[in-house]
Structure 1
Amino acid sequence: MSALTIEGLNVWFGEGREHVFAVRDLSLDVEEGASYGLVGESGSGKSTVLRAITGLVPTWRGSMSVMGEALGVGRTPAFYKTVQMVFQDPYASLHPRHTVDQVLSEVLKLHGFRDIDARIDQLLVDVGLGPGYRFRYPHQLSGGQRQRVAIARALAPDPRILLLDEPTSALDVSVQAEILNLLTDLRARHGLTYLMVSHDLGVVGHICERIAVMQSGEIVETLGVEEMRRLEAKHPYTQHLLDSSLRSARG
């Protein structure tokens, strides 16, 4: 079964002569339980796709469906129980004056959960923190710990799909692998489906089986991660990204 299907998606900003297309005629299909990557440089439109899915960008046409249900202009509470998003900057996405407890309690109450204390403790264990972090503020946490809290918040409604918007790019290199390993483990344990956006082929290759490469708002190539590792990309832009990734890895 398809968890997420997009057909002929166009997204634009502005009106009349001022409008600019950020995404053009994009189609993709993510099977339930799969991990799918969208890769491209800044301005390629990859994050705009996630914002269109979540309803943060209302100016789009085409068709999108989640777990077989077509998406319209607005998003229902049921949608946000099924789909959650992890943002790039964990410090910016967490309220600076709210403790971890407040952040997670708010989400759980919003979605109608009752056994909140037990759920918060379990969420913190799931993301590798534990109850000892429950009453800390964001400024008392490292970047990696803040991102773990952001992941716990996304997991709180017990979603089936996570949208991952550059979830490790704001972190130190030493911490990035820890978060990627955590995401891989959570997907296996909870049967999650991922759609992950990144500018880094190496990061996406760590947790995704299939990768779509975006340039100027369009998908120019789709390939499996094993094809990518064998450097079997056909499109010149994908080859450019691979070359850049290899040069970066060599230091």
Structure 2
Amino acid sequence: MIEIENLRVVYGAGALRTVAVDGVSFGVAEGQSFGLVGESGSGKSTVLRAITGLAPVSGGTIRVAGREVPKRRDKVFYSQVQMVFQDPYGSLHPRHTVDQILSEPLAIHRLRDRKDRIVEALRQVGLGASFRFRYPHQLSGGQRQRIAIARAIILEPRVLLLDEPTSALDASVQAEILNLLERLRAERGLTYILVSHDLAVVAHLCERLLVMWRGGAVEETSAEALRSGEVTSDYTRTLIRATQGFTRAGA
């Protein structure tokens, strides 16, 4: 479903030139959930932004469903690929109601039966029609992220790009959102690319993953190998040890 070959993302020029992603390649089969992990600044979120056209692609090839993605993303691309951002507080327009937020992609793609589509999208993310005319400030963090997911699935895409979709949420809400994403993938046959610094989240939601460091690929492995510690890279083993050694204050 998704093929990335030698992806390269470079920002700036001269003394300000920064190579954010350097020669990253991977493939994701249809219906698979694939993880990108690594420390902050490793380039994992930049990969998602490059796929969607939010970051400049300096080299390499991106294909979705066998079609090379054009430099200028078109409606065909966005009808197939949607993104859920990390911050549910910043990704929703504060002065738009939920109805307006969910209507916008339908209007752009000139789809009819907007009310029915909105109500159905809300139902699928576990919210009722009564949420249509609420504003983001009237919602909890988990409810806002559910609205962001509803906006992503309302066009019935085949691919969701998930950029740390639970990291801004309370621990009790994180599990609810992960279970929702797991259910939607099973029901809709969706393909996921999940970015996370939380190895437990990736091991739970993904079959395979790519470990990144300083913009490059360290190793591609399976969630099972991650859980068992049977990985080949010293850097990956360091990540696993760091995760195991972390406990929340007061825990």
TM-score (norm 1): 0.96
CA distance in structure 1 between the partners assigned to 2:160 and 2:34 by the alignment: 11
> What is residue 131 of structure 1 aligned with on the other side?
129
CA distance in structure 1 between the partners assigned to 2:19 and 2:3 by the alignment: 20
CA distance in structure 1 between the partners assigned to 2:36 and 2:247 by the alignment: 20
Identity of aligned residues (%): 59
SS in structure 2 opposite 1:90? coil
Where do residues 68-217 of structure 1 align in structure 2 (5 Å cutoff)?
68-217=66-215
Where do residues 28-107 of structure 1 align in structure 2 (5 Å cutoff)?
28-107=26-105
1:17 Cα deviation (Å)?
Answer: 4.1
CA distance in structure 2 between the partners assigned to 1:247 and 1:17 by the alignment: 38
1:91 Cα deviation (Å)?
Answer: 1.1
Q: 1:13-57 deviations in whole A, cap 9, x for unaligned?
A: 002343111111100000011000000111000000011100111
1:58 Cα deviation (Å)?
Answer: 2.1
SS in structure 2 opposite 1:92? coil
5+ unaligned residues in a row in structure 2: which ranges?
none
5+ unaligned residues in a row in structure 1: which ranges?
none
CA distance in structure 2 between the partners assigned to 1:48 and 1:8 by the alignment: 14
Are 2:9 and 2:50, in contact at CA under 8 Å, matched by a contact in 1? yes
CA distance in structure 2 between the partners assigned to 1:90 and 1:188 by the alignment: 23
CA distance in structure 2 between the partners assigned to 1:21 and 1:160 by the alignment: 30
Counterpart residue type for residue 128 of structure 2: G
SS in structure 1 opposite 2:89? helix
| Moved >2 Å (runs of 4+) | 247-251
CA distance in structure 1 between the partners assigned to 2:148 and 2:27 by the alignment: 26
Counterpart residue type for residue 197 of structure 1: V
CA distance in structure 2 between the partners assigned to 1:90 and 1:169 by the alignment: 10
CA distance in structure 2 between the partners assigned to 1:60 and 1:129 by the alignment: 41
Are 2:7 and 2:57, in contact at CA under 8 Å, matched by a contact in 1? no
> What is residue 22 of structure 2 aligned with on the other side?
24
Counterpart residue type for residue 36 of structure 2: L
SS in structure 1 opposite 2:70? coil
> What is residue 222 of structure 1 aligned with on the other side?
220
| Cα distance change of structure 1 residues 9 and 181 upon mapping to structure 2, 3 Å threshold | same
Q: 1:173-231 deviations in whole A, cap 9, x for unaligned?
A: 11101000000000000110000101111111111000110000111011111111111
Root mean square deviation, CA, Å: 1.2
SS in structure 2 opposite 1:5? strand
Matched pairs, number: 249
CA distance in structure 2 between the partners assigned to 1:52 and 1:60 by the alignment: 10
